[in-house]
Amino acid sequence: MAEEKSVQVEMQAIRQSALDALSRAVDEASLQQWRIAHLGKSAPVMQIFTRIGQFAPEDRPKVGAAANQVKNALEQAYSSRETEIKQASLQQSLEQERLDVTLPGRKPVQGRLHIQTQTMREVYRVFAEMGFQVYRTRDVETDEYNFELLNIPAYHPARDMWDTYYTTKPGVLLRTHTSPGQVHVMRERAPEPIRVILPGMCYRYEQVDARHEIQFTQIEVLAVGRNITFGDLKGTLDNFARRMFGQNVHTRLRPSYFPFTEPSAELDVECFVCGGKGCGVCKGSGWLEILGCGMVHPVVLQNGGYDPREFSGFAAGMGPERISMLRHKIDDIRYFWGNDVRFLEQF
């Protein structure tokens, strides 16, 4: 039979050594180790409970109560030490990681619409107000639609106006302008009247410079009906220019040549850099060309399914990059597709 008196002494020693060890626990990791060692299943105080049957039956309640006391005392000591350590570590992190709430916040990086998307949407809006719908056609075109149906047969010298990227498939190319869309929409709508704009990316095998890219956007304008005149074209373009550039904008229509319009013209806007005096951007002319236009050629009307004796129409093709350049005083078209965020995030 084990002696009740000596186990009481043993328990006091267990308690003392556990409390000494606890005072040496300085952080949460060592505190956890202490808990396993002194309150876990194999802790000395827990071993007393397993040995209780070895005591005389009358001593067992005393031993049990004393062991419970030690256990409770250790649990209490553990919880107050835990509070102390947590408090100390909070204090330490507050001192070390001091937060200055008066510092200005970091601005989150915000996505935005590309300058061209913004300009194009504005052009859509201006034309929508004049009753024009948006109609989209394909970037990869056939020679037939890009040239032949637009009155530009093979080997016609006018083909030199559009240096073309051909695909490996014969007769298939990247559209050099949005004009092939004219025939697509006419064939779909004939003999109904048409008022559409046709936006999209165009591709030309060109020498890249401040005003020319190999990839750029165009917006085609097309109106077909029974009594459409050159006056309607001029009025529509004047209205468009005033809405885009302001009431006082200076524009001019200059005679030009396109195989798919007759007569043909080009619309120039006064150069934004020199104010019309002449500079490097406008090549000394004082004007920047933004679009080509004219009355739809009878051959094209016929190819689209309209009888040119009954129907007439006007068409225009503009370069929205040039419009953005004019409005925002951008002096080089290469910024648009260069993907430099320092440029893009300005708009």
Q: Smallest distance, Å, CB 324 to ligand FA5?
A: 11
- Which residue lies nearer to ligand FA5 by CB, 67 or 265? 265
- Which residue lies nearer to ligand FA5 by CB, 145 or 258? 258
CA-to-CA separations, 114 to 18, 186, 320, 347, in angstroms, rounded: 70, 31, 12, 8
- Which residue lies nearer to ligand FA5 by CB, 11 or 178? 178
Interacting span for ligand FA5 (CB under 6 A) from 96-104, 211-219, 225-233, 272-280: 211-219
Fill in the per-residue mask, 277 to 316: x = in contact with ligand FA5 (CB under 6 A), - = not in contact.
------------xxxxxx--------------------xx
Instruction: Encode 279-298: b = buried (16+ Cβ within 10 Å), e = exposed.
Output: bebbeeebbbbbbbbbbbbb
Q: What is the DSSP letter of 211?
A: S
Interacting span for ligand FA5 (CB under 6 A) from 58-66, 78-86, 189-197, 206-214: 206-214
115 forms part of the interface with ligand FA5 (CB under 6 A)? no
187 forms part of the interface with ligand FA5 (CB under 6 A)? no
User: How many Å apart are CA 347 and CA 344, to the nearest integer?
Assistant: 6
Q: Are strands 287-296 and 261-270 parallel, antiparallel or unpaired?
A: antiparallel
Cα-to-chain-centroid distance, residue 341:
11
Name residue, tokens 């001029």: 234
179 forms part of the interface with ligand FA5 (CB under 6 A)? yes
317 forms part of the interface with ligand FA5 (CB under 6 A)? yes
Q: Smallest distance, Å, CB 265 to ligand FA5?
A: 8
Q: Smallest distance, Å, CB 132 to ligand FA5?
A: 14
Interacting span for ligand FA5 (CB under 6 A) from 17-25, 64-72, 108-116, 214-222: 214-222
241 forms part of the interface with ligand FA5 (CB under 6 A)? no
199: phi then psi, degrees, rounded to nearest 5: -90, 155
Cite the beta strand spans of the chain per DSSP E: 133-134, 140-142, 172-174, 194-203, 215-225, 251-258, 261-270, 287-296, 312-318
Residue 24 burial by Cβ neighbours in a 10 Å radius (0-12, 13-18, 19+)? exposed
- Which residue lies nearer to ligand FA5 by CB, 257 or 347? 257
The residues binding ligand FA5 (CB under 6 A) are 177, 179, 204, 206, 212-213, 216, 218, 220, 258, 261, 264, 289-294, 315-319, 321-322, 333
